[in-house]
Amino acid sequence: MQKTVKGPVRFVGVGLHSGTPVTMTIKPAAAETGIWFRRTDLRISDNMIAARWNAVTDTMLCTRIENEVGATVSTIEHIMAALAGCGIQNAVVEVDGPEVPILDGSAAVFVAALLDRGLQELDAPVRIFRVLKTIQVRSGDAFARLDPAASLEMRFHIDFPDEAIGTQNKEMTLANGSFVRELCDSRTFCRQADVAAMRAQGLALGGTYENAVVVEGAQVLSPGGLRHADEAVRHKMLDALGDLALAGAPILGRYTGVKAGHAITNMLLHAMFADPLAVRMETCDAALSAVLPGAHLQKSDLRLVA
């Protein structure tokens, strides 16, 4: 059955790119609502923004969505991954600024708070998008692909010049709490060499060594080092789950990302929905529901992090 959160869940922090202080509250929503963001600081005719693939208007180092009157919210990928990984299909996410708080740079704080509050089953079945044929998009040497599969599977490859990251590969099935156990605590990352360039573009203004993994050559500059030896590729998978959640329903298929980011994953969703033969919406029975990312989730699945 569809789920929402049992009660409001509040977070206070700063935006990674804007550096703006922000308070965010996730509130319960009725069945069939989906995920919506509300900009509570805007006094305009419409401050509600749908968390949908066709509302994405910017993918420069994060995912930004926008409504028809120009209200936006940025860096939504981590909270979208947390909601998807916990199996929450319905919620209203209120923010009093232009960007979701970055917190520790991962989705673990979101997941822990959602599980602490508890989830509420609703009187409506979950629907999924089943991938029926291969869909692929490419940009230079980066590409993303969806293939038919019995559950949501993910394969990812990254390759960075810094030895602290280097070449990393990971594949996994995102079912039965695996997102919470294996991915949600992996933090966003960047190269020290890129920090000045990002800030010159008005990006990463709220970034610190505490809310991002910063590397330089073979060194990890952030205190405490890495949470996983392959934390970088795990975080890319976290981002991909959050961006795929903008489909509006769980996807059953195998996602392959090679040097992929927000832009390519959103291009993939555009390509998927542009082809009427690519996917089919299905209503979940008990067996199908059991392979979804939030199925049989326990709070004990959450790995303790620093």
| CATH code for the domain defined by 3-121 | 3.30.230.20
Token pair for 272: 């998927």
Token pair for 190: 């960047």
Record the pTM.
0.94
The residue whose two tokens read 């409001």 is 8
Q: In the chain, where are the structural domains located?
A: 3-121, 127-297
Using one digit for the tens of pLDDT, what is the confidence trace for 178-222? 999 999 999 999 888 888 777 777 777 777 878 889 998 999 989
Tell me which amino acid residue 112 is.
A
| CATH code for the domain defined by 127-297 | 3.30.1700.10
Residue 19 has φ and ψ, to the nearest 5°, of 70, 10
Q: How confident is the model at residue 306 (pLDDT cuts 50, 70, 90)?
A: very low
Find all residues with CB under 8 Å of 104, minimum gap 6, and list them. Answer: 187, 210, 211, 305
Catalytic residue numbers, as ranges: 262
The CA distance from 36 to 111, in Å, is 18
Using one digit for the tens of pLDDT, what is the confidence trace for 223-263? 989 999 999 999 999 999 999 999 999 999 999 999 999 99
CB-count exposure of residue 121 (10 Å: 0-12, 13-18, 19+): exposed
**CB-based contact 20:206 (threshold 8 Å):** yes
The CA distance from 17 to 233, in Å, is 21
Q: Which helix (H) or strand (E) holds 234?
A: helix 231-244
